[in-house]
Structure 1
Amino acid sequence: MNFLHSQNELALGSRFKAISESLYAVANATYRASGVNLDAHWFPVLRYLQVKGPAGVTEIAAAIGQTHPAVSQLATKLRAAGWITRRTDRADARRSMLELSAKAEAELDRLGPVWCAIRRGAQAAGRRASGGLLDALAGFETDLASGRVEAEILVQRDRLLAAQIRVLPYRPEWAPHFERINLEWLERWFAVEAVDREMLARPQQHVLDPGGAIVFAELDGEIVGTCALLKEAPGVYELSKMAVESGFRGYGAGRKLLDAALAEYRRRRGTTLFLESNSRLKPALALYESAGFAHRPAPRPGSHYRRADVYMVYEPERRAARKR
């Protein structure tokens, strides 16, 4: 028997620390196998900045449960490695903010399948553990030491990377994903408005019952994106709430969601399709333009959103004419 095991509850702290380091090692092995130069110890800070946007050291430390000096030291290391940059807070010149570099944004935007594989591997090990706390802990330690968890993670990673994005219609059990994925990008880039919260919390009432539709992007059982088609009047629809989860961008989910929404609009014999957006969301605007949306003077009369400074209308015939 391992000596720490023989100490039972007295050694819990030491055993949890050893498990923590083993999990870091497994995650790092997965990153290396995936060609990513990322240290698992950096994950909390980088993921926070990816999901929440630029933030100060104090805010990050409080959110991830680490000390201010620890986060500050890590920030210095991440800056030197090119993962983050530091700038002055636009609202308070005395305060500095950390934000992801362009390189980090691009790298992290494609790590969703790897993170999902790590989560699946840890879940499988957790399910195999049974009995009381000490027995479960021993089983988890055995799994880690044998290499089984790492092997399972790599299998799941390969499975996810080989899978194809599918766009599927609304299911009631997926409603929480409609809210979760949209809140992520809204909280990162803007303030969540009352109209957003109401629609995201009650999609059946505000989208489906009035005659709209919601579609989801699915990857090997994981919901990674969503989009809504809102019916405003007979024949008039709004493309809304299109979002892809961070970590899964760059895999074509956005294009497939947009194509599915356009197909649904045509199936319903719609006469007008418009959207409202913001000029900060340049990749999204480029996607809309490529699909046939044309800019109109903004904001749209009667706009629902304070953040909207872009108004576009679907005019595929103009795009086709330009190609000719």
Structure 2
Amino acid sequence: MEFYNKVGKMALGSRLRRLSEKLTEQAGEVYKVYDIDMNPKWFPVFYALAEGEDKSIMQIAQEISHSHPSVSTIVKEMVKNGVAQEIANKADGRKNYIRLTDKGWEINKHIQVQYTDVNTAVENALNETQYNIWKAIEEWEFLLEQKSLLNRVIDEKKLRESANVQVVDYKPEYQAAFKRLNEEWITQYFKMEETDYKSLDHPDDYILNKGGHILMAIYNNEPVGACALIKMDSDMYELAKMAVSPKAKGKGIGFILGNACIAKAKSLGAKKIYLESNTILKPAINLYHKLGFKKVTGIPSPYERCNIQMMLEL
């Protein structure tokens, strides 16, 4: 127990595996008490087959929430020990179904009293505990179905790394990075257009001097993201030239830049923010939806690659 107290909650999986192994080992001793010739790990498959219906391995796997390879391995062991048998599917000779053998049905007959005693023993153990592990497992299964442990860890990684991201105002020394970041993503999916070259080569003339703003995302002292607000009229700006370096993906930089641009637009008295994109850029479109943008139509675009327009009402 000292190891788990030292490592903490990140060893949850290992600790549950340890508990599972202990329960499985003790279950094996229980079977001996009732003179039942069965491996504890067979139990879910055995119980599913004991309902009396012939079932395919896929059906069993879905019923007991095990993987197909896991059920296949268990079935092979049960067949080898004479507890189960494979039979051809009459409707489709290429498929086999699984059923209990006479030995399996004999085990099922004698195991019923064991079920009664085990169920009562587990109920009594649960009543002795402060926290009901059965209900806790149900809660964890539900939580992990809603959001996997992988996604939870990725979100924490983003939060930790995003704390080191700074959003700063554009300076002339960022011009090369501003152009490079945008060229990277544009040329990956499309081709550079005349309007791109104008705004990226001369951001002062085409963005800043016309009342617009450019924000840069800095991570570990390096520009890794950029986004521009181009003034369209007195109360509307265009969110444009948003780009994040491929080597900085997964840190939530696009979301940070987007929120920074929205805050900047509000400080400038804007009532709307408009943007143009392309639906093949699914992560970008998802980001814009997350930021609150909604699809609109009717505004002429200077870009060939534009096939969706979106607006955010501030």
Give TM-score, length-normalised by structure 1.
0.46
Relative contact order higher in (CA < 8 Å, ≥ 6 apart): 1
Higher-Rg member (1/2): 2
